[in-house]
Amino acid sequence: MHSIDRRHAIVFNGEIYNFRALKADLEAQGHRFETHSDTEVLLRLYAVHKEAMLPLLRGMFALAIWDEEEQSLFLARDPYGIKPLYYADVEGCFRFASQVKALLVDEAISRAPSPAGLTGFHLFGAIPEPFTLYRDIRACPAGAWLRVDSSGAGAPVHYSSIAAVIAGAGSRVPRKLRDHFQESVRHHLVADVEVGAFLSGGVDSSALIGLMRDCGQERIRAVTLGFEEFAGQANDEVPRAREIAALYGVDHHVRMVGAGEFADDVDAIFDAMDQPSVDGINTWFISKACREHGLKVALSGIGGDELLAGYSTFASVPQTHRLAGPLTRLPYAGPIGRMLLRTLAPGLVARNPKVEGLFGLSRSWAGSYLLRRAVLLPFQLDRAMDPAMAREGLEELRPLERIAETIDPDPGSDVGRVCALESSNYMRNQLLRDADWAGMAHSLEIRVPLVDFTLLQQIAPHLTRLSGGAGKAMLASAPSIPVPAAIVNRAKTGFAVPVSEWLSGTSRHVPDRRASRQWALQVMDRYLESAAALPLG
């Protein structure tokens, strides 16, 4: 879209939920508009405020604005990183896109793999930004902007920080949490089409549906995935989802998925994935199911665990740091500790290989978090990739320093630190990225009311009190008809898919680390083969 005076042009991916309020403010200042779109509001805001417009926006976005007069390009991404933005600055030409694969169409961009990207995948199961699988392609960081002109591309400039919001929150608690949750849901229901929902049978998706009802949406279509491998077990979401659907009067659809459909879809999954990930299959199938029912927009409960201390990491990471951390101060604690464990407790190491990292990583918050979230630990990378490439990748990636940056400034509390760590690492690099590619593959826009920077600012003063399930209990009580206690108090199972069973050919759910690792290796092999098959520049 071009501005009325033709000075500015924009390409924009996402939604600005408060654009009507922003437009009203601009109109009060004498600005006029030709459309009713949020895109035109962005153009006018940029003309007035330049990059200072970014903190005014409530939504998910990746955008690029060309200034014809200044001959400059401005790119920016939302604070959480819900929408992706990649770029390559090669041979005097700057290219940008929402997908890495779109950039690879240009033969001038090298297909040489990035050691940091490869290493990051094997460490985390997804490639941490700003790296990608390729040396020449970078991700614009979440909550950052950059400008390109005749002198070249400037370095990304951060305009927001999850850790800074939490650190500066204080203890002010002026409104009930219920009001903040409902306000966020109301903003995320602004649409020209029907808005549906994912329903997993947990607190987050259940509460969102209750709040959708409170916001006045009369018809709510919700979709739940079911798997024969989970039938009758704790991680079978279908029975609880049916209870919630009945409670809130939802038009409920259960979609069964089996090994045969997974085998049929696996090539399409890899084609859509864009960047390698060990997750996202669940979102692929539920997005597919939503599209089958004609939905174009759906709400997801992503972000509830990160915001409201729903993960076990909110207890295990602080415990690891405080209890095991002192051991790391012993001379040569890491290598000696690993040697002793392998000698004296080989069975323990076989069952839980991460235990070897206790003596080296638990010294810092970043190391304790890596110990909990890593697929492989740094000293285990030789098992999965070329050792020389792993050393180069670790040197460039600096995983502990990169994780530590996400809790700088110090959020000031255990809950605040883990909230920032989970939101800025696992959620950003895996959950949100997977939701984008899997949803877009089925032309489904996935909206995440619990991943909202305004909501974070409102919730932050409460974080120090969110312990022992208190956060989820507050979300569950937010709808006028609360989520039942049986849902709130049940053990967390997650939004799981029986990939291990499908790969191993078993019919019942049996957790198997080797099968999970097999899937990770298959993902990486497919991506390396795909890159090798592309024509060289």
pLDDT at 340: 63
Give, in degrees to the nearest 5, the angle at Cα 240 between 239 and 242: 65
Compute the average pLDDT of residues 161-190: 89
Residue 409 clears pLDDT 90, i.e. is over it = yes
Distances (CA, A) of 312 to 145, 355, 512: 34, 17, 20
Model confidence pLDDT, tens digit, residues 31-42: 999 999 999 999
Chain-centroid distance, C-alpha 476: 22
Residue 264 clears pLDDT 80, i.e. is over it = yes
Q: Work out the number of other CB atoms within 10 angstroms of the CB of residue 498.
A: 24
Domain 8-163 classification at class level: alpha beta
Model confidence pLDDT, tens digit, residues 327-373: 666 655 566 666 666 676 666 666 666 676 667 788 899 999 999 99
Distance CA 513, CA 225 (A): 23
Rounded percentage of the chain residues whose pLDDT exceeds 90: 74
Compute the average pLDDT of residues 114-130: 95
Q: Token match 């998910």: residue?
A: 60
Residue 55 clears pLDDT 90, i.e. is over it = yes
Residue 304 CB partners (closer than 8 Å, separation 6+)? 203, 204, 207, 310, 450, 472, 475
Give, in degrees to the nearest 5, the angle at Cα 483 between 479 and 485: 140
Give, in degrees to the nearest 5, the angle at Cα 186 between 183 and 190: 140
Compute the average pLDDT of residues 228-249: 90
Spatial CA neighbour of 44 closest among 36, 52, 33: 33
pLDDT at 467: 75
pLDDT at 537: 37
pLDDT at 534: 47
Q: Would you place residue 523 in the very low, low, confident or very high pLDDT band (cuts 50, 70, 90)?
A: confident
β-bridge partners, 195 = 297
DSSP 418-470: HHHHHIIIIIIIIIIHHHHHHHHTTT-EEE-TTS-HHHHHHHGGGGGG--TTH
The answer to whether residues 258 and 231 touch, using CB atoms and an 8 Å cutoff, is no
Residue 44 clears pLDDT 60, i.e. is over it = yes
236: three-class secondary structure by DSSP: coil
Q: Dihedral through CA 44, CA 50, CA 55, CA 59, nearest 10?
A: 40
Residue 475 clears pLDDT 50, i.e. is over it = yes
Residue 495 clears pLDDT 70, i.e. is over it = no
Model confidence pLDDT, tens digit, residues 268-294: 999 999 999 988 999 999 999 999 999
Cα dihedral across residues 128, 134, 139, 141: positive or negative: positive
DSSP 8-23: EEEEEEEEETTHHHHH
With residue 90 as reference, give the H or E element that holds it: strand 86-90
Compute the average pLDDT of residues 154-180: 88
pLDDT at 176: 83
Tell me the helices (H) and strands (E) count for the chain, helix number first: 25, 14
The answer to whether residues 167 and 410 touch, using CB atoms and an 8 Å cutoff, is yes
Distance CA 185, CA 303 (A): 13
Spatial CA neighbour of 214 closest among 191, 243, 184: 184
CATH number of this structure's domain 173-309+418-533, picked from the four choices 3.40.50.620, 3.40.50.720, 3.40.50.2300, 3.40.50.300: 3.40.50.620
Q: What is the DSSP letter of 277?
A: B
- Over the chain, what is the mean pLDDT? 89
pLDDT at 329: 67
The answer to whether residues 454 and 439 touch, using CB atoms and an 8 Å cutoff, is no
N-terminal to C-terminal alpha carbon distance within the chain: 32
The ranges assigned to domains in the chain are: 8-163, 173-309+418-533, 313-416
Q: Work out the number of other CB atoms within 10 angstroms of the CB of residue 398.
A: 12
Residue 512 clears pLDDT 60, i.e. is over it = no
Pairing of strands 251-256, 86-90: unpaired
Q: Where are the beta strands (DSSP E) in 100-258?
A: 138-139, 144-149, 152-153, 157-158, 195-198, 221-226, 251-256
Model confidence pLDDT, tens digit, residues 77-121: 999 999 999 999 998 999 999 999 999 999 999 999 999 999 999
Residue 221 clears pLDDT 90, i.e. is over it = yes
Spatial CA neighbour of 80 closest among 60, 55, 101, 63: 60
Paired tokens of 397: 């990636």
Q: What is the pTM of this model?
A: 0.92
pLDDT at 6: 95
Asked if the domains at 8-163 and 173-309+418-533 fall in one CATH topology, the answer is no
β-bridge partners, 93 = 90
Residue ranges in 125-202 assigned as alpha helix (H): 162-167, 177-188
Distance CA 15, CA 38 (A): 7
| Amino acid, single-letter form, for residue 482 | P
Q: Where are the beta strands (DSSP E) in 194-350?
A: 195-198, 221-226, 251-256, 297-299
pLDDT at 489: 86
Chain-centroid distance, C-alpha 343: 39
Three-class secondary structure assignment of 458-495:
HHHHHHHHCCCCHHHHHHHCCCCCCCCHHHHHCCCCCC
The answer to whether residues 533 and 388 touch, using CB atoms and an 8 Å cutoff, is no
The answer to whether residues 467 and 448 touch, using CB atoms and an 8 Å cutoff, is no
Distance CA 445, CA 437 (A): 10
The residue among 388 and 528 whose pLDDT is bigger is 388
Give, in degrees to the nearest 5, the angle at Cα 400 between 399 and 406: 95
pLDDT at 516: 56
Q: Would you place residue 536 in the very low, low, confident or very high pLDDT band (cuts 50, 70, 90)?
A: very low
> Residue 37, exposed/middle/buried by CB under 10 A (0-12, 13-18, 19+)?
middle
pLDDT at 336: 63
Q: Work out the number of other CB atoms within 10 angstroms of the CB of residue 13.
A: 17
Q: Work out the number of other CB atoms within 10 angstroms of the CB of residue 94.
A: 15
Distance CA 220, CA 194 (A): 9
